[in-house]
Amino acid sequence: MTETHDFGPAARRVAALLAAVPDAALPGPTPCPDYTLGDLVDHIGGLSVGLAVTARKEPAQSPPPGDASRLPDGWRADFADRLDGLAAAWRDPASRTGMTTAGGLELPAGVAAMVTLNELVVHGWDVARAAGLPYEPGADDVAACLEHMRAFSGDDRPAGTPFGPVVKVPADASALDELVGLNGRDPGWSPA
């Protein structure tokens, strides 16, 4: 699915969520235990640049962990531009062929593309939950991410896998709840 899948809609959904995050919510918790909402927002800004570099197969360093103190003035507009750039970089057919690097690891470009989409969809969920905002990712985005994440769903996840332990969900759970659980989040998480 990654050969032609356009990440633009997912990127725009995340940008719209970021635009709606009130400043007062930035110090609050997120489903990512080590991140405040502001830290997560900074992480999204960094991954937008880093994974665009991955798509272009340019050398890059791993971005530092998210840190709200680094949010620049005008970050909402800046990060929307970064997210647009990320989607544009992955539209180039060459971005999904051969090998590339992400987070200091060499991997097939098609896998990196799926990592990118999963980051957009799941971090969109994280932001929405933390800020109390509605979120409806595209069904095709969720389906593509589920296909990718099911490969990492066993108890034998490789060391260094950037996901928490799988959170089991009921058999009748929504596709989004299953995806969130596969990414180590509790679909019932709330900031209160």
Give the global pTM.
0.93
From the first residue on, what is the mean pLDDT of each consecutive set of 10 residues in the chain (192 residues)?
A: 81 98 98 96 97 93 91 97 98 96 91 97 98 97 96 58 81 97 96 88
Q: In this structure, how many other beta carbons lie within 10 angstroms of the beta carbon of residue 147?
A: 12
pLDDT of residue 157: 45
pLDDT of residue 103: 82
Residue 169 is predicted with a pLDDT of: 96
Q: Which domains does the chain show, CATH number per domain?
A: 8-182 (1.20.120.450)
Q: What is the DSSP string of the chain?
A: -TTT---HHHHHHHHHHHHH--GGGTTSB-SSTT-BHHHHHHHHHHHHHHHHHHHHT---PPPPPP-GGGPPTTHHHHHHHHHHHHHHHHHSGGGGSSEEEETTEEEEHHHHHHHHHHHHHHHHHHHHHHHT------HHHHHHHHHHHGGG-STTPPTT-SS-PPPP--TT--HHHHHHHHTT--TT----
**Distance in angstroms (rounded) separating the CA atoms of residues 26 and 41:** 8
pLDDT for res 77: 97
Q: What is the pLDDT of residue 1?
A: 46
What is the structure's pLDDT at 155?
55
- In order of 38, 64, 115, the CA distances from 98 in angstroms are 35, 26, 15
Q: Say how far apart CA 133 and CA 96 lie, in whole Å.
A: 32
